[in-house]
Amino acid sequence: MKLPRKYISVLVAVQYIPQTLAATSSSSKIDRHALISRFNPIRTSSNPSTPLQVGNGNFAFGTDITGLQTFLPFNTLSSWGWKNDSLPAGVTENDIEAYKGVSWLNHGRPVQYDFGGGNPIEQWLISNPNRVNLGRVGLAFIDENGAGVLNVTEDELVNAKQSLDLWTGIITSTFSFRGTPVTVKVASADSTDTIGIQLDSSLVDTGQLGIFIDFPWCDGTAKFSAPFVGRYDVPANHTTTLEASNPTRAAVRHTLDAATFVTTVNGDPFSVQRLDPVAHRYLVTSHSKASKGQLSLAVAFGLSEQKDARSANEVFRESERVWEDYWSKNGFVDVLTGSADSRAEELQRRIILSRYLIRVNEAGDTPPQEVSTVLYYSVVLLHLMRCGEIVRSREQWLGRSTSTLGIRQNADEIASSSTGKSTPASKPHPWLTRMTSKKIPHGLVHPSQTPQANRFSSLLVEMYFWHSIHWALWNNWDILNRSSSIYSRFLTSSLARSQIQQGWPSGARWPKMTDPSGRSSPGEINNLLIWQQPHPLVFAEYEYRSFPTRETLEKWESVVRETANWMAVFAWFNETTRAYDLGPPMFVVSEDTSPNVTQNPAFELAYWRFGLGIAEKWMNAMEQDVPQLWLDVKNNLAKLPVDNGTYMVYEGIEKNFWDDPEFTSDHPALVGLHGWLPPTEGLDLAIAKATAAKVWTHWNATDFWGWDYPMLAMSATRNGETDRAIEWLLDPLYQFDDVGMPIGGVRVPTPYFPGSGSFLLAIAMMAAGWDGSEGEAPGFPDGWNVRFENINKAL
C-alpha cells in the first residue's frame, strides 16, 4: 500500500519567537502534556548502571527503585563539589607553579605547549580536581523491637514500582515491605541544590522507617569507577560532624582533606543520630507522634549550612512550576501523531527523554565534561558564582609557563587593545579579579583554580558544540545564555595562551579541555586539536539570527574578532602552492592521525572557511573594516584534498586509507562536510555525496559512537537520503535505555550525552529545515507526520 504523503503542521505559540523561526499557523495545537506523559519512565526494579534522576542543570540526584539511594549508591553531585588531593611526595606548590611543557616547531616558529612536562606533576594535574559525591540518601528500615537498622535487600520489597512524571520532574516509588505499603516521592529544587522527600507509610509512625545519609571518601585514584563515586570503607580518611541539630533542622559538616561541605536537613519534626562513631552514616526518623504516617524532609547540599533552606513542599511546587514552564514553552517536535511509520514511537520516546535528561544534566553555567554524567550521574557544569570568595587565580595557582599574574594583566591589555577599547568580553570574570597572596589548601577547589582533569571530568570546549548548540534551534535561549558566555569569560586566558605562551602575533586560541578559568589541560591532543576554534562563531551566528540587534553584535564582537584573528594567523602561507595551509602540527576531529604530518584536513579546512565567513559578515554588520588577512586566508585556503572522486581525511594521507582501520575507526568527520556544515565555498556536492556514501560502506560502523550517528543523519538529510537519516538515528548500535540514557557503546561509558545533544540538533534540522531547504520537514521521508512548534532552522 502506498504510504500517505507526510503532513506537516508548524505551530506558533503565543510567546515571543525569535525572528528567524520558519513557521506557519495551523488549526490544531500539539497536546504537549499528553505526548510527554506517554513516555513517563516506569521501572519495577533498580538498574545497576543507570538511575532515574532529578536535578536542575547544576545539580543531580540519582535514584534506585526506592526513589532514593537505598540499595545502590548512586551519586549526589554538583557543579561546585570538587576537591584536590594532596600533592605527590616530594612535590611542592612551587614545583606545580613551575610546570612547563614542551616546545614544538610550527613552520619554523617554536610554540610552547602544555604537555610533556613530566610526572608526577603532570599526572597530578590530570587527576585533579576530583569530584565529591555530596552524600548518599536512602531509606532506613528499622527493627520493630528497637534492635537497630535492618539489613534489607531489594528482593524483600513486594510489588515495587517507580515512575517519573516528566511534566513535573517528580519521581514516585511504591512497594510493600513485610506487608506494609510504602510510598516515596522525590524532586529537585531548581534555584537551590536541594531534594524534597516525602515518605508515606504507617511504618513512619511506628519508627520502623526513616532515612539515612551517608558520606563517602573521594579522591582521584578511581575516576572511572562508574557508576558510583567515592568509597564508604575508609572512614578514617575523612570526618563528619553533626551540627545545629533541633527538632526540625540539622546540619552535617563533611571534611575531606581541606575541603568542607555541609548537608542541611529540615522539615517535619525528626530525630537524628549517628549510627556509628567511626562510620559517617546518620539516621533520621520522625519525631512526631502526630505525623499521620508521613515524613517530609528537604535535604540541601552546599559549601555552608543553608540558613534559608526550602521545605519539601516548596521543592515539589518549584519542580512542578519549572518543568511545566520548560515543557510548555520553546521548541517541541511531534513525530508520532498521525505517522504511518512504526518507528515513530521510538523516535518520539528518544526526543522526549533526551529533552528531560539534557535539562537535568546540561542546563548549567559552563560546558559539561565530555561524558557529562557518564561516570557520575550528575552535572559537571562548574557553577562559577556559588563558591564564595576566590582567593587565588587558577593561573597563579598552577603557574604554567604562562600562569603568572603578570600574564593575566598582559592578556587583559591585549584584549583591550585588540579593539581599541575595553569591552565586557575583554575583561576578566569578576572572580578572576579578586586575587590575594593567600594560598588555597590542597583539599579545597574554588572554580577559579580548578586543576586540570581528564576528558571525563574537565570542561570539554570542543564537545560544547554537541552538548549545547541544540538549545539554539529549540529556542531555549534562557538556558543557552547561561553557558555560551564562557567565550567572553575565557577570552583573557585564550589570548594569553595564543600570544604570550605560544607566541602567535594575534588572536585567542580556545582550549580543548579546560576548567572554569579557561586554562588548557596537559595533553598532546588537548593542545593540538583545532576544530573547537570556530565554535564560538557558530554560537554567535545563531544568536544573531534569532536576535538581530546591535546589542547582539556588540556582545560577541571581541570573541568573534579574536577567534578569527587566531584562525587567520594559524594558517600558513605556502609559497609554493600560493595557498594557506592548516598544520602541521595538529590533530583532526577523529584524533587518530599523526600530528606532525597532518596538513590540510578536509573538515577543518571547510570549517575554517565557514567560520571566517561568519566573522566577515559580523564585521560588515557592525560597519567595521574586515581585516585583510581574514579575507586573504578565507579566499586562498588550500583546496579540500580529493583523491579518486572522494575527499580525503587530510592532504597526503595514504591512498588506501579507506581500507586502513587506523583511519576508519573513529569519528567520520568527512560526512560533516555536507550535513553538520552547510555547503562551503569550494565544496563539490557530488564529491561530498560520494564521500558520504563511501563512509557508509568503508568505515568501521561498529566503532561509531555518540554524535557520529546524528552527524551521519544530518549528512543523509542534506543529501536527500531521508530514509537513511531515520535509519542512522535508530541504528541498532545507537541506543537509549529505558529511561533515555544514551548508551556509550564500545568507546565510552554510559551515558554519553553528546549523543543526546547531537540527536536533538539533528531532529530540529530534519523538522524545521536549514537555509536553502525546500518543502516541509525536509529531513523526514514519506509516511511521517511531523508537527513542530518554535523550532529554528539550521544554518
Q: Where are the alpha helices (DSSP H) in 418-504?
A: 430-433, 464-468, 470-473, 477-484, 486-489, 491-495
Per-residue model confidence (pLDDT) at position 24: 34
Q: 265 pairs with which residues across the strands?
A: 250, 299
Per-residue model confidence (pLDDT) at position 225: 52
Tell me the pLDDT band of 3, cut-offs 50, 70 and 90. very low
- Rounded to 5 degrees, what are φ and ψ at 294? -135, 140
495-516 tens-digit pLDDT: 999 999 999 999 999 999 887 6
Distance between CA atoms of 92 and 107, rounded to whole angstroms? 36
419-461 tens-digit pLDDT: 443 333 333 322 222 222 223 223 333 222 222 233 444 678 9
**Domain annotation covers residue 448:** no
Residues of the chain with pLDDT > 90, as a percent, come to: 73
Candidate from 319-328, 334-343, 360-369, 492-501 with smallest mean pLDDT: 360-369
By the 8 A CB rule, do 193 and 137 touch? Answer: no
Site of grid cell 543507570: 50
Q: What is the count of structural domains for the chain?
A: 1
| pLDDT surpasses 70 at 313 | yes
**Domain annotation covers residue 219:** yes
Grouping H, G, I as helix, E, B as strand and the rest as coil, residue 163 is: strand
514-533 tens-digit pLDDT: 876 777 888 999 999 999 99
By the 8 A CB rule, do 426 and 524 touch? Answer: no
| pLDDT surpasses 70 at 413 | no
Q: 198 pairs with which residues across the strands?
A: 185, 296
Per-residue model confidence (pLDDT) at position 131: 82
Per-residue model confidence (pLDDT) at position 536: 98
Task: Fill in the amino acid letter for 300.
Answer: A
By the 8 A CB rule, do 198 and 170 touch? Answer: no
Rounded mean pLDDT, 298-312: 92
Neighbours of 639 (CB within 10 A): 13
**Domain annotation covers residue 626:** no
Neighbours of 18 (CB within 10 A): 16
Tell me the pLDDT band of 771, cut-offs 50, 70 and 90. very high
- Three-state SS string over 744-780 comes to CCCCCCCCCCHHHHHHHHHHHHHHHCECCCCCCCCCC
**Domain annotation covers residue 26:** no
| pLDDT surpasses 70 at 9 | no
Tell me the pLDDT band of 145, cut-offs 50, 70 and 90. confident
By the 8 A CB rule, do 41 and 739 touch? Answer: yes
Find, among 307, 308, 358, the residue nearest to 331 by Cα. 358
Per-residue model confidence (pLDDT) at position 430: 29
Find, among 514, 261, 483, the residue nearest to 384 by Cα. 483
| pLDDT surpasses 70 at 258 | yes
Per-residue model confidence (pLDDT) at position 357: 97
Between these two residues, 104 and 431, which has the higher pLDDT value? 104
Find, among 502, 582, 475, the residue nearest to 534 by Cα. 582
Per-residue model confidence (pLDDT) at position 15: 35
Per-residue model confidence (pLDDT) at position 99: 84
111-125 tens-digit pLDDT: 999 899 888 998 888
| pLDDT surpasses 50 at 106 | yes
By the 8 A CB rule, do 67 and 186 touch? Answer: yes
Distance between CA atoms of 271 and 213, rounded to whole angstroms? 13
Distances from the Cα of 547 to the Cαs of 54, 480, 534, 552, 555, in angstroms?
32, 14, 20, 7, 11
Tell me the pLDDT band of 599, cut-offs 50, 70 and 90. very high
Q: 213 pairs with which residues across the strands?
A: 137, 282
41-69 tens-digit pLDDT: 999 999 999 999 999 999 999 999 999 99
Per-residue model confidence (pLDDT) at position 2: 35
**Domain annotation covers residue 319:** yes
Find, among 611, 629, 418, 626, the residue nearest to 533 by Cα. 611
Distances from the Cα of 121 to the Cαs of 100, 397, 615, in angstroms?
10, 13, 39
**Domain annotation covers residue 171:** yes
Neighbours of 285 (CB within 10 A): 18
679-694 tens-digit pLDDT: 999 999 999 999 999 9
Per-residue model confidence (pLDDT) at position 575: 97
Q: Which domain holds residue 207?
A: 60-83+131-324
Between these two residues, 297 and 22, which has the higher pLDDT value? 297
Distance between CA atoms of 476 and 38, rounded to whole angstroms? 23
Distance between CA atoms of 314 and 179, rounded to whole angstroms? 32
The two most distant CA atoms of the chain are separated, in Å, by 90
Residues of the chain with pLDDT > 70, as a percent, come to: 84
Rounded mean pLDDT, 751-772: 97
| pLDDT surpasses 80 at 382 | no
Average pLDDT, the chain: 86
Per-residue model confidence (pLDDT) at position 346: 98
| Terminal alpha carbon distance of the chain | 36
**Domain annotation covers residue 242:** yes
| pLDDT surpasses 60 at 29 | yes
How buried is residue 553: exposed, middle or buried, by Cβ count under 10 Å (0-12/13-18/19+)? buried
Rounded mean pLDDT, 592-610: 97
**Domain annotation covers residue 331:** no
> What's the CATH code of the domain at 234?
2.70.98
| pLDDT surpasses 80 at 227 | no
Which pTM value belongs to this model? 0.89
Candidate from 326-330, 388-392, 557-561, 765-769 with smallest mean pLDDT: 388-392
By the 8 A CB rule, do 422 and 557 touch? Answer: no
